Structure 1
């Protein structure tokens, strides 16, 4: 189905390419005119273009002149002239598409044209990269082009202060990672003052490596969390010990393909005996089920030195796509704590979610988004359905000369790696550079040991030395070099034959103490000489590498995703260079093992293939393609599901954040608080008046509740006296009397504090209550989502149920916000002092109301990784090892499934709670049911 949709999406591609080619011709026609401009005249083009835009011309009209200006500025500052295909790529970005350009086609330079054109609007352009290193490197290098045109650039990096970040966002073009942009959005919606906000809107975004950011990382949301109370962590250790006593296939079953486990009846009985409880599945014990599942998953699904390593008493995740150790990242949903307990290291505390957004919904905030990648074709349908982004394949500047050899399949891994080493030795001896891709740290180190035995000098790029990754990858195309890398390590850095001249030149400039930011004039003066010298050296070496056959890319295993395989292959054959690629596989590789390579095994068995002999078989190739399609389909379904559920929360988030923004921007809250007062009194009357008249009502209970909200000035006798007798009191009369009394009390409160102080108190109270209730709501929604899948057993659509109950919970939260706000405004013990300056707003302090300037020093920032883990940093941007899993409320009041009327109540809960609800079935009944079956 997906392939049919992809074909449909590509029907109009020829028309788009013709339009892009016409743009390139128009830009080329202007090249000579722009080459004759002085530097000052070139810089003044920006002023002219902005004036034309203000006068009503569209960006499409200005595109040829803007692109021609960027090309000329780049030629003068960097010595790099945009090829026609790069201009076409830039135009595709401006039109809101994904430009699919092969590796080495200069995507970083492509982004400059679209970024400059859209920055003419003065609304800010965001260029999103995959890591801080690339954001910093690209903003410095490309910033030289923009400065030559009179535009400013900024770079958002972890650890920057709010004033620094605000300054970066004020720049015309701002570089940064998706995590940093997303967290700034969330932080802005937690701000107490409009002046604390740093972003200035979401106009246009260019996403580099768009498939990595919008596809690979879209399964895990960005989360800001803070410390949560509770002693749940001791249960991780308890269940880690228990899980080791459970026997696979007897007490529990494992599905490695789906990464799930299921506890069987004997296992449940063992757990109940160990914990001394009667029924694991009664409502009082609900929290224990997730501890049990996580403990079993930690033992059965997460392997040491493959999925994670233990270093210095900490569990560190290994990225499945790049093989790097993900410092500071943690698995979510309590899995990381379960692994810590399994390995006997300190279990870090869970945190509570304070704000969260998925990457899909963050990027939907932009008026226009675009992206670049070398491998988007396989996900074209998903880009269109989720982000309304078309994929345009841009032709290569020079014809592709890389030879992609067919896969070689061996019976086992040992035979495969022996042949890999032999192949590398042969290539190395003739001077051909080799880049080897492995799927894990373990396998890269195993291959490294085999190469060392053969005396082959090589670089290993994996989790344990990634600090040098860009430098190593940049030099992987040098004569005779051998680089063993875990999959896509160093992505974003070009492998150029003979070495990356630009990278070497920048390193030389830095060694001389020159910086394009700190010393821009000296940098520009020295650049040409340094770059020319480096280019000459690199060119000479590149000729020798070409003679040896170009870069040879060798994959030691197929990845779950075809796209990752294509990315590895794409390292070779850039800009028309010769190159070669090949994958070596074995029947024991994870992909083959998980997705049934029985057909291939029987084929090799029938033919009596020796251990060290490879086969090239269409049967195996089909099996691999089928396995990869299954994984890609499963992952796409997960992303679609994440988005469906987050869309429910997103509508609520937009309502709350929109409300907060209006408050911060100066909305008069007096009218709103008066409306809150009316609503809250109506709710009290709804509870206590109901049908009939005053003769039927409990006035004492009504007055008790009213006194918790405001200082009631009326007595019951006064109300009855005013009406004549209780029988003549109806709801409208009651509402009028109480509301009048409440508004008079509010007026007295305002007179005692002063109007300016009352306005500030209203603002502070409303913000504080909204924030606290929103945090609790996120908690509740998270908990609801965890269990909603069970509704399918009752023939109900879980998503529809989630929407219905989520809406009811949101309405309930809004009622709580109104009630709490009214109670705080009347009952807080407030101190008012005058702020500095004659016209400064008063400073309002109240017990129970957090100071507006209080720094959130204990917040954690959780972001997605390719492996499903999460990167965690503190407020200062430092990587921390504190827990980042979203805390789960101890569900002491969780509703149990409906049960038979005579089911016995639980004897005790795992946390010692009183539980009045009936257990669904007790242990003896469950066993009897099993026998009856």
Structure 2
């Protein structure tokens, strides 16, 4: 009783603060409406003049918030003029929340796309605005649909989708507002950090980003890094040989793997003692290694990697759930959108292991050149905001990781959708049987039905049963993704049945009766035909409303309640009637994995002779299981972000160096600084504190000087030309004066012998290429470290602290190697260009030693630029 009473008080307090916050927004809306009255008769010129006026006012007074009511009023009038609609107060509230750098939680069909327009316009007055959509189709649709409004307001609109030329991308980024997908913005950022000329930079400043369906992008997709890679030539036979050995390690005894230990939470696999012994025996027999304990040597670590990958793909990666096999190619299914990710391949040998498993052609493994997660990329923006219908479930994660608050906005019209209790079936067959009967009953009443499934495999299995029962239907999954917009646009027609995988079609409203505007866009009808079509769809709309609206069937509960809510939210938009129900069975993945077997037995025994049961206790049990999974997933993401943030510091440092190298002034500053550092290190190594600065040691100093010069010859082949006159005057403050003397000679040599522009070009290209080379191997190193660092916990060390320490040591090493090898290659090239043929031959042989960093053709092209 006391618990319930406290809960009631807390809920009332929560409602009180929510309403108090919303009241603040309604006060702003009054001001917006007052300004709107003065603008209702604006001409096209008036809109442009007002935008110019706003920009001028912002120059004198930097507070953009003071402009909000007037700017939003202007957009409201523009939307009325272009779309012939009057914006709801709830849409205006959504826009204010977006401007404040928060997440606006708005239900499906509440006009989220329009809310984005207002905030985008206001912020584009003094910033670049990037809008992120779920897919290319939505980026195209929204940019085209909203372009006229933005143009009326004097703003330009660009689009950023795959396969655009660099010229068109640059043009788009120059626009005030850009629509695109998260992937495309990220890839542009990564490519910008791989260029060799500042003119090739694509992306504009990262000022303000609005993310549509923000929960999908910043929560669901946050753990997968986006990667730019190149082919890494590996003997593909090894994948086939290793794949043939997998069966030995998947042996189970008493339903437990005998040779491996599995962490399902982190999806990691390690060999136990028996497993290592078996692996050693097999590897010795196949001549991969010669004797025991050789597996632990560094040069054999790849054998372990390939073996673990082969086991992983057999346990964790499932055909038609995680990937498709089409035309002998492995295509990844995006677990969040249900769509095929055409341009993606799993890295670290996973994709090749799946190709071996499925007996298709094995393509070369990719070496990662550059990568970043959505989390780290979007945190580069000065301001982030987003909009979605399902964010509240993840409010702790949004706050913890992105420092984003969520504001839930009431619907414009009350939600009248009926959400029925789950039905729990005792067999999968009885569940399918019930679904068929339920569909047939609803079709008699002309009701449209949307059926949500959790995988392609399950969507096709259900399609098979519907075909068997002569039920016409459309299927929407990764195999039919090109028909997505068309299928979803007509999923609200009378008697339509649509089977969909999770989230497919998200971002497109299901309109009751069907979407006649979609038909108009696809066909060039005359006015009479348009009028008839409109009336036909009006009739169909009323028919579906009378049938009870769109009915949603969930065939399985997802691990996340939020994903379930996304499916439910497809029905009952804008006060429409509708209904939803989840039909689940004890054979479902969620039930099998997270509901204890003894509980299932109790339910079975207490419900004999019936096919299903339904009560609030089952709902609570499933909610509890989902809550545990969501908490667990949050912990995994938190841990991944901790590791990624450590790596992100290194990436940010390296990208800063890289960007500075593209600027001539900074380039020379860095180059001179590297020279000073290298020379000073050689001086320190040869002069110890035991040397006195008295003139008695003159010959000693001369000897040291010669030794330093001799050692520097490795990096500066021309250093032997230096005159040994330093010690006539400069024995005091030896290190400082010696550094000054040697570096002055180095700079003199460069300035006297080479054209400034030409030598700058050589410096820039070599410094960038050598930096990229070491960074590429560092990424691979860190990936390996990250995947294996958990083993340190077995020797009572904190994996996170170990990762931090070791990764920064590795990073410092690559920076030191970058400095040293860059100077060696630059100086050899410069020296070759000044020497006679015989001397050149000797130096060219020396240069060949470094073709593992930069290939010979590139080196000789650089050499030719000096001649």
Shorter chain as denominator, the TM-score bin is 0.7 to 0.9
Structure-1 residue corresponding to 2:363: 348
Q: In the superposition, relative to structure 1, how do residues 77 and 256 fare at CA in structure 2: closer, same or farther (>3 Å)? A: same
Q: What CA deviation, in whole Å up to 9, does each residue of 1:796-851 have, x standing for no partner?
A: 2222222222222233233223223332332215899xxxxxxxxxxxx9964597
Mean Cα deviation higher: 349-358 or 266-275: 266-275
Matches of 2:228 and 2:260 in 1, distance apart?
35
SS at match of 1:245: helix
Deviation at 1:457, TM superposition (A): 1.2
TM-score by length of 1: 0.82
Output the CA distance in 1 between the equivalents of 2:71 and 2:619.
Answer: 48
C-alpha distance in 2 between matches for 1:257 and 1:793: 18
Match of 1:245 in 2: 248
User: What are the residue-to-residue correspondences of 1:376-455 with 2, within 5 Å?
Assistant: 376-455=391-470
Which SS does the other structure have where 2:211 is aligned?
strand
Match of 1:177 in 2: 181
Partner of 2:248, secondary structure, is coil
Q: Which residue of 2 aligns with 1:578?
A: 577
Counterpart contact for 1:600–1:620, Cα < 8 Å = no
Cα pair 2:709 2:719 within 8 Å, conserved: no
Structure 2: distance between partners of 1:784 and 1:5: 46
Q: 3-state DSSP class of the match of 1:96?
A: coil
580-589 vs 732-741, which moves further? 732-741
Give CA-to-partner distance per residue, 1:310-348, whole Å, 9 cap, x none: 222122233444444433433333222111111221222
Report the counterpart of residue 836 of structure 2 in structure 1: none
Q: Paired residue for 2:66, among 61, 70, 75?
A: 61
d(CA) in 2 for partners of 1:81, 1:809? 59
Distance 1:258 1:353 in 2: 22
The Cα of 1:7 is off from its aligned counterpart by 11
**5+ residue gaps, structure 2:** 1-6, 692-698, 834-854, 863-867
- Looking at structure 2, the residues matched to 654 and 815 of structure 1 have their Cα atoms a distance apart, in angstroms, of 17
Q: Secondary structure at the match of 1:352?
A: strand
Per the alignment, residue 594 of structure 2 pairs with: 595
8 Å CA contact 1:436–1:554 kept in 2: the answer is yes
**Which position in structure 2 is the counterpart of 1:890?**
none
Using a 3 Å threshold, how does the CA distance of structure 1 residues 564 and 548 change in structure 2: closer, same or farther?
A: same
Q: Given the superposition, is the C-alpha separation of residues 734 and 171 from structure 1 closer, same or farther in structure 2, using an over 3 Å criterion?
A: closer
How far does residue 731 in structure 1 lie from its aligned partner after superposition? 10
Aligned to 2:841: none
Spell out, residue by residue over 1:433-480, the C-alpha distance to the aligned partner (whole angstroms, 9 max, x if none). Answer: 000001111211121121122221111111221110111011111111
Which is bigger in relative contact order (C-alpha 8 A, separation at least 6)?
A: 1
Cα separation, partners in 2 of 1:126 and 1:634, compared to 1, 3 Å? same
- Which residue number in structure 1 is paired with residue 135 of structure 2? 131
Q: Output aligned runs, 1:711-860, within 5 Å.
A: 711-714=717-720, 733=734, 736-737=737-738, 740-829=741-830, 848-849=858-859
- What's the CA shift string for 1:731-778, capped at 9, x where partnerless? 954774475245324423332222232333333333333333332332
In 1, the alpha carbon distance for the partners of 2:832 and 2:497 equals 70
Query: Considering only aligned residues, what root-mean-square deviation do their CA atoms show, in Å?
Result: 3.0
Displacement after TM superposition at 1:789 (Å): 1.9
TM-fit CA distance, 1:530? 8.8
CA distance in 1, matches of 2:10, 2:682: 56
Select which of 5, 8, 27 maps to 1:22. 27
What does the per-residue CA deviation read over 1:605-641, in whole Å, with 9 as the maximum and x for residues that have no partner?
Answer: 322423x621013443233122212221222122212
Shift of 1:481: 0.7
* 3-state SS of paired residue (2:390): coil
Residues 17/554 of structure 1: CA separation in 2 closer, same or farther (3 Å cut):
same
Structure 2 partner of 1:295? 310
CA distance in 2, matches of 1:485, 1:195: 45
- CA–CA distance in 2 between the matches of 1:98 and 1:7? 23
1:279 aligns with 2:284: no
- Cα gap change, 1:671/1:587 in structure 2, threshold over 3 Å: closer, same or farther? closer
Say whether residues 1:45 and 2:43 are aligned partners. Answer: no
Distance across 2 between alignment mates of 1:801 and 1:507: 59
- 1:163 alignment counterpart: 167
Aligned equivalents of 1:730 and 1:532: distance in 2? 98
- Determine if contact 2:660/2:667 at 8 Å carries over to the other structure: no
Shift of 1:174: 0.3
2:470 aligned with 1:462:
no
**Alpha-carbon distance in 1 for matches of 2:272, 2:775:** 38
**Contact preservation (8 Å) 1:341, 1:347:** yes
User: Per-residue displacement from partner, 1:118-145 (whole Å, max 9, x unpaired)?
Assistant: 1111x21110011111101110001121
- Which residues of structure 1 form unaligned runs of 5+? 513-525, 833-844, 853-933
Matched with 1:554 is: 553
Correspondent of 1:708 among 709, 714, 727: 714
- 2:695 — aligned with what? none
Deviations 1:149-197 (A, max 9, x none): 2211000011112221111011111000111111111111222222111
Deviates more, 1:217-226 or 1:266-275: 266-275
Determine the structure 2 residue equivalent to 1:622. 620
Q: Does 1:270 align with 2:285?
A: no
Flag the 1:830–1:544 CA change in 2: closer, same or farther, 3 A.
farther
**2:92 alignment counterpart:** 87
State whether residues 501 and 531 of structure 1, in contact with CA within 8 Å, keep that contact through their aligned partners in structure 2.
no
Residues 57 and 823 of structure 1, relative CA distance in 2, 3 Å threshold: closer
Whole-angstrom CA distance in 2 between matches of 1:850 and 1:381? 57
Does residue 631 of structure 1 match 2:605?
no
The secondary structure found in structure 2 opposite 1:709 is coil
CA distance in 1, matches of 2:408, 2:68: 20
Q: Is the 8 A contact 2:47 2:153 kept in 1?
A: yes
Deviations 1:211-245 (A, max 9, x none): 000000000112212233444x4322221001123
Higher helix share: 2
Q: Deviations over 1:627-656 (max 9, x none)?
A: 212221222122212221121122222222
- Whole-Å Cα distance in 2 between the matches of residues 260 and 535 of structure 1? 56
* Corresponding residue number in structure 2 for 1:35: 40
Find 2:668's aligned residue among 655, 666, 670. 670
Alpha-carbon separation, structure 1, partners of 2:399 and 2:719: 62
Mark the CA change 1:336 to 1:765 in structure 2 (over 3 Å): closer, same or farther.
closer
Shift of 1:76: 1.9
Match status 1:493 vs 2:508? yes
